[in-house]
Amino acid sequence: MNKVLEVLDVEYLDSSSADSAIAAPPPSPLPHFLYQLLTEAPPSPLPEILPMSDRDAADGFVHLARAINILPLAMKNYNYTVQLWVFKLDYQWMIKNGYDVKWEWSTSNSTIYPHLYGNTTKKMILDERTWTRQLNEEWNATSIAEDTWLTDGSSRLAEQMTLFFPLILLFLTSFIYT
């Protein structure tokens, strides 16, 4: 099989088949963005439908990750490569358009990862980033560690603060002046 994209070999589910995947509850709140890690540069220009890597095809799904998982995955599994490419995917758009993303446990049952049962499409991709490190450098010493581009994009906390902050001020003001 022609390997166009090599998705990183992270601690995901048993690669023997998608049947071994153990369903997990999705995070709450749901992230706005998901990420697809690549160890080879994506094709340019991007095709409308990207082919699965050999590993993804064998597993029956595309391995994705949340922003919070990127650095730990790079540190644990990708010291063999000095360059990583990452797609930022619009998860909310994927949900609205009926793409089959399932949240499933890693083989160690310690982390929940999103898996896309189908191919990545150009319409899902919001942005792309490349990180490079020196051979003797660890990923946590690179720009990956503090890259604000990596975000779940959840605005729930901001919405809650916008709603509750005036109420808290009103309460404190009435408490102080009574």
64, 8 contact by CB (below 8 A):
no
What pLDDT digit, counting tens, does each position of 108-123 carry? 778 999 999 999 999 9
Q: Does domain 18-152 have CATH number 3.40.50.800?
A: no
* pLDDT over 80 (residue 139): yes
What pLDDT digit, counting tens, does each position of 29-66 carry? 999 999 999 989 999 999 999 999 888 899 999 999 99
pLDDT for the residue numbered 25: 94
Is residue 84 very low, low, confident or very high in pLDDT (cuts 50, 70, 90)?
A: very high
What pLDDT digit, counting tens, does each position of 148-165 carry? 999 999 754 444 444 444
55 vs 85: which has the higher pLDDT: 85
pLDDT for the residue numbered 26: 94
The domain spans of the chain are 18-152
**Tokens in use for 9?**
């070999």
d(CA 156, CA 62): 27
pTM recorded for the entire structure = 0.77
d(CA 121, CA 59): 18
